[in-house]
Structure 1
Amino acid sequence: MSLLRRSPLCALGVLPGLIGLLMAALVLLPAPRAQAAPVYGGYAMAYFTESNQGVGNNYGLHLAVSPDGLQWTPLNQNAPVVTPTAGTKGLRDPFILRKQDGTFTILATDLNGTNWGETNQYIHAWDSTDLRSFTNYRRLKVHSLAATHAWAPEAFWDASRQQYAIIYSANNGTRDVIMATYTTDFVTLSAAQVYFDPGFGIIDANVVTGVNGTNYLYYKRGNELYGAKSTSLAPGSFNNATYTGPVAHGGTEAPVLVKSLSGSTWYLWGDTYTPNGVFYAWQTGDLAAGNWTPVDQRAYTQPLNSKHAGITPITTAELNGMKSAWGTPSWNRLKSYNHPDRYVRHSNFAGRIDAYPFDPYADSQWKIVPGLADGSGVSFESVNYPGQFLRHSAYSIVLNTNDKSATFAADATFYPTAGLGDSSAVSYRSFNYPTRYLRHSDYQLRIDPLTASSPATDRQDATFLV
């Protein structure tokens, strides 16, 4: 006020009039709008690949999409869309963060393979506007601890700090804990500090924020998953807040929490910590209660050979753009309906269903082409043995080279029908033996007579999920 009293403009009565005009103008200006939250129409998954004998190992960034977060379509023929060019030149544990401006940053462990004893203070990072191009590749030094790692980096927005927290697993000299460093731009980072240390060794933290005023942190301890919750995101706030019992299917790691787009259901994903790489899913209608029940394996299918995924919701336009940019597979896999851990494959040129994963994994990849004997039917061409098809021979299913004969074409042609065991799935009726259907029996594939009145087990044996 003293400055106003000394102002000659004020003395002339000019300044109060200017202030009045400015205030009136400001009232007429539209209020600034917060960026509208995206309307999500699906999910993107980032992962790397390993198979149980190493045939499918690839430590680049892979992507898949899903409309429901359960059934996943790998992109780019399940090949990497980008590969690190510095550090170890390989990645594990990729994570996709949608930032406050709507663009993405991708983080990943800098590790090419399974050398768990390797010391590394860095993680990989890329930026992306649309998950179709990846720019500004760099490695971020997240800590200065000696003789330890920086595994499974993830990030979240901490509104109270107006900063992003990058969290990751590292050893503090006594045990593995979750460390954190803070940033606004994923270039300049704060000094590292311990974020979560419940007093025992843990790795693989996944955080979701602001769910009805509560934040959740899920982690791996031993061979099991646990959840903690807190109303704060401050370092140490989750230390004494574990609220769930263990969740596991065998040895399980890499928890990922995913909210359904169509309801109140939450899904918890985890995968086996061995190179076998099988995802399992649990669900709950009440995240705060933390009571998880297994999801029927018929309901979900992971991308082929995928390991330690990061999952984020995306818009329908983003999902379609990713599919257009990277392409969807030219092949399919067929899952057994009543043994959903098993897939149709050839082994020693015999058709059968085997528990996933297995190598060579390409034994389970099929090009479903127009029927050789009738284009309204289908035939199954092997991906790793092009020109060879599943056919029946003495009612058993074998893989043979197409000899171009009418008999071969007829034996290798099947009509898709509504699933005999579940009409939402599919069954395959033989072209030249129209009362017989493709089925498994003692895990061997064959064609047998089946009708709507056949035993339920037999009808389910003849039902598949593509």
Structure 2
Amino acid sequence: MPVVSLRRTTLLTVVAALLACLVTVPSARAATYSAYVMGYFKESPNQSGDSYALHLAVSSDGLSWTPLNQNNPVATPTAGMQGLRDPYILRKQDGTFVVLATDLKGRVFNLNNQYIHVWDSVNLTGFTGYRRVRLHGMNTHAWAPEAFWVPSRDQYAVIYSASNGTRDVLMVNYTTDFVDMGTPQVFFDPGFNVLDGDVLVHDGAFYLAYKNLADGNLYVARSTTGAPNSFTTLTGGLRQGDAIEAPILVESNAGNTFWLWGDSFSPANAVFYAWRSADVEGGSWAPLGQRAYTAPINAKHATIAPINEAERAALVSRWGAPQWNRLKSYNFPGRYVRHADNVARLDPFPMDPTADQQWRLVPGLADPAGVSIESVNFPGRYLRHADLAVRLDPDDGTATFRADATFHRTAGLADGAWTSFRSHNHPDRYLRHLGYLLRIDPITDAQGRQDATFQITY
């Protein structure tokens, strides 16, 4: 073979090998995402639903969430305080994940814990390399750790809440492996106390959401470099509800939409709130009503990361989708159907016991084409109407009970994307709420159509 031809063949072989490597090595930047994963811990008003461990949920649209593993933990710390708060999920540059979390358990805060929990994970179906790493040696805490990649440094920035001796600030450590955490330095000190930083990298710029402890509001700031103390605040104060914290900045996989999430820091009112913007740099955020989204039961201080469809399917396959549902009110979207003293009610979330709002939608007792609504915590008891009021009663085996406890799902009377439930044995009547109590009534006006419309969710 001529020398020139041999060289050309060798060069082509080398180029092909390099291209093959580029194709097979996972890349966080090149990935195409179509779903989301959320990590969180749990708290409920009377502490019966508390869980200081890592929980996961998935979503296809970034707004309605499916908790995995029956909303039970997927990983629990075994060192330090043996519990976590404020988990954070980061996709690393090699396409795998790292999970960070505050080393705290319960509601008694250790103000001088300098450590955080860390796990590695290929695709969040399992967790390896658990370790507890120290971020600093100061006489202060290390809360709500989060991380992002800084191309100019070829390192990850780990930011967290701490005190610099004068006030609460955001600190930063730089690392390549989440083992050697480097030297701490102040990352964001605007001259007043701040808490809970979250950074979104978009189009080469860095956007920081944080809580201003002076006024209790959330804000969004911007930096072109992501360097310490380089951020300029873009927004006015944002708040929904009485108290809010734990901001999360999320870019929609579909593009042209950004979400800012926050949750109430009071366990008695553990509610998520959300805003939407078409321009993260513009500083204008519109509140989303709770009809638009549903967070997992009792979720607190969450993290949201984009994933692809194969990863979403693998997570559902590994951990399992819920074997229960919740019924969310259309016109009172902060309220869910629950039973209390065997009466079917519409009550505000959060509520205890948690399982009072969880239902199994099973084939209709009187007609398998319909549906019966069985209690999770009182199996064998079903929602049924009696004198038009709806109760939770045990199946007594009679035809009357089976008919009273059977409904037929129809397109929502107020919104066809939601659901209404028509009575099996009174087909001119629908399940609706009135004075927050459930009953079956004929539906004749717009108010009734809203009262009779529910979302089957988790």
Q: Give the TM-score taking structure 2 as reference length.
A: 0.94
Amino acid at match of 2:220: G
1:462 matched residue in structure 2:
452
Moved over 3 A (4+): 21-28, 31-36
Give me the whole-angstrom Cα distance separating, in 2, the residues matched to 1:200 and 1:302. 31
1:203 partnered with 2:210: no
Matches within 5 A, 1:303-382: 303-382=296-375
Q: Secondary structure at the match of 2:374?
A: strand
Q: Secondary structure at the match of 1:85?
A: coil
The Cα shift of 1:118 comes to 3.5
The Cα shift of 1:372 comes to 0.6
Q: Secondary structure at the match of 1:234?
A: coil
Q: Give the TM-score taking structure 1 as reference length.
A: 0.92
Structure 1, unaligned stretches of length 5 or more? 1-17
After superposition, the C-alpha distances for 1:241-272 in whole angstroms (9 at most, x for unaligned) are: 11100111121111111111113010111000
Matches within 5 A, 1:123-138: 123-138=116-131
Give me the whole-angstrom Cα distance separating, in 1, the residues matched to 2:256 and 2:8. 46
Say which is worse superposed, 258-267 or 97-106, in terms of deviation: 258-267
Which of 17, 22, 34 pairs up with 1:41?
A: 34
Which of 74, 80, 103 pairs up with 1:81?
A: 74
Give me the whole-angstrom Cα distance separating, in 2, the residues matched to 1:201 and 1:26. 59
CA distance 1:460–1:106, shift in 2 (3 Å): same
Give me the whole-angstrom Cα distance separating, in 1, the residues matched to 2:320 and 2:8. 55
The Cα shift of 1:134 comes to 0.1
Give me the whole-angstrom Cα distance separating, in 2, the residues matched to 1:167 and 1:120. 15
Amino acid at match of 2:173: T
Matches within 5 A, 1:285-300: 285-300=278-293
Structure 2, unaligned stretches of length 5 or more? none
2:230 matched residue in structure 1:
237
Which of 218, 221, 232 pairs up with 1:225?
A: 218
2:104 touches 2:110 (CA, 8 Å); kept in 1?
no
The Cα shift of 1:29 comes to 2.6
The Cα shift of 1:25 comes to 5.0
Give me the whole-angstrom Cα distance separating, in 1, the residues matched to 2:144 and 2:365. 48
Q: Secondary structure at the match of 2:400?
A: helix
1:161 matched residue in structure 2:
153
1:29 matched residue in structure 2:
14
Amino acid at match of 1:465: Q
1:423 partnered with 2:416: yes
* Percentage of matched positions with identical amino acids: 57
Amino acid at match of 1:197: D
1:391 partnered with 2:384: yes
After superposition, the CA RMSD in angstroms is 1.8
After superposition, the C-alpha distances for 1:96-116 in whole angstroms (9 at most, x for unaligned) are: 000000000000000001222
The Cα shift of 1:288 comes to 0.6
Give me the whole-angstrom Cα distance separating, in 2, the residues matched to 1:462 and 1:89. 45
1:213 partnered with 2:204: yes
Q: Secondary structure at the match of 1:380?
A: strand
Amino acid at match of 2:318: A
2:239 matched residue in structure 1:
248
Which of 136, 140, 143 pairs up with 2:136?
A: 143
The Cα shift of 1:413 comes to 0.3
2:440 matched residue in structure 1:
447
The Cα shift of 1:214 comes to 2.0
Give me the whole-angstrom Cα distance separating, in 2, the residues matched to 1:328 and 1:434. 32
Q: How many residues align?
A: 442
Give me the whole-angstrom Cα distance separating, in 1, the residues matched to 2:13 and 2:411. 63
1:194 matched residue in structure 2:
186
After superposition, the C-alpha distances for 1:80-110 in whole angstroms (9 at most, x for unaligned) are: 0110000000000000000000000000000
Amino acid at match of 2:53: G
1:61 matched residue in structure 2:
54
Give me the whole-angstrom Cα distance separating, in 1, the residues matched to 2:294 and 2:147. 26
Give me the whole-angstrom Cα distance separating, in 2, the residues matched to 1:111 and 1:47. 13
Amino acid at match of 1:273: F
The Cα shift of 1:418 comes to 0.7
2:257 matched residue in structure 1:
265
1:281 partnered with 2:266: no
Amino acid at match of 1:439: R
The structure whose Rg is larger is 1
After superposition, the C-alpha distances for 1:265-309 in whole angstroms (9 at most, x for unaligned) are: 101110001113211110000111111111121111000110000
Which of 382, 403, 407 pairs up with 2:396?
A: 403
Amino acid at match of 2:401: F
Q: Secondary structure at the match of 1:108?
A: strand
